[in-house]
Amino acid sequence: MCECAPTPTPTPVFAFPSFYRILRNGMQKRLLLNSTHLDITIRRLCWQLIENHDDFSNSAIIGLQPRGILLARRIHSSLKEITSLSSILYGELDITFYRDDFRRRGIEPPSKTSMDFSLENKKVILVDDVLFTGRTVRAGMDAMLDFGRPSKVELMVLVNRRYSRHVPIEADYIGIHVDTISSEKVRVKWKEENEEDGIWLFTDENNKQE
């Protein structure tokens, strides 16, 4: 088993100066976390999980499709590396038909669900990249119940967009806190998508609030 985790650092909170780099399409772009700091953040989240789940014998990591699975895969891989555990339950969950706006969004091809185990009485860690309104996570919890009734459900997100909830959902494990307005967008980029790892904030200059 691994050695004790280092003392965790507080979750960063980002505030933004008035200057941004303006792109050709009128959007302003600002880097929040580069690849090095993103890797550090992922390892911190892993240590927090280890502190609460020990050997993960009754725990399962579930990535929410489509964007949450990229973070979930990194977390799962890093946990196995840090702990030397060969088997940590991992699954990927499609929530397309559980969204409350499914019929409003038009026809979208569903993603793949990959779950070959029951969640009955398991401690489940749901993983998504950005927590915004909370509706995606709510749909994920509904979809999860098709695989059993967990004993406990926790939520991990890389970015917590505060003050934006439509439903009362908060995360247990957070990479960074970001204060944004509704017209802004937060994008997590991954090298698995042939882009450099990083977290970016995009602001539409035309809709910028004073």
Helices 68-83, 35-53: inter-axial angle, 10-degree rounding: 70
Q: Mean pLDDT, to the nearest integer, of 101-108? A: 62
Q: Examine residue 193 and state whether it is found in any structural domain, yes or no.
A: no
The full DSSP string for 139-170 is HHHHHHGGG---SEEEEEEEEEEET--SSS--
Q: Examine residue 209 and state whether it is found in any structural domain, yes or no.
A: no
Percent of the chain whose predicted confidence (pLDDT) is above 70: 80
pLDDT of residue 7: 52
Number of folded domains in the chain?
Answer: 1
Q: Mean pLDDT, to the nearest integer, of 12-20? A: 48
pLDDT of residue 15: 47
Domain residue limits at 81:
34-99+110-181
Q: Mean pLDDT, to the nearest integer, of 144-158? A: 97
Q: Examine residue 160 and state whether it is found in any structural domain, yes or no.
A: yes
Q: Examine residue 48 and state whether it is found in any structural domain, yes or no.
A: yes
Asked whether residue 184 carries a pLDDT value surpassing 80, the answer given is: yes
The C-alpha angle 64, 134, 98, rounded to 5 degrees, equals 55
CATH of the domain at 54: 3.40.50.2020
Is the CB of residue 132 less than 8 Å from the CB of residue 161? yes
Q: Examine residue 40 and state whether it is found in any structural domain, yes or no.
A: yes
pLDDT of residue 150: 98
Q: Which of helix, strand or coil describes residue 14? A: strand
pLDDT of residue 20: 47
Per-residue b/e over 135-153, b at no fewer than 16 CB within 10 Å? bbbbbbbebbeebbebeeb
Q: Mean pLDDT, to the nearest integer, of 100-127? A: 83
Nearest to 149 by CA among 60, 88, 18: 60
pLDDT of residue 27: 78
Q: Examine residue 6 and state whether it is found in any structural domain, yes or no.
A: no
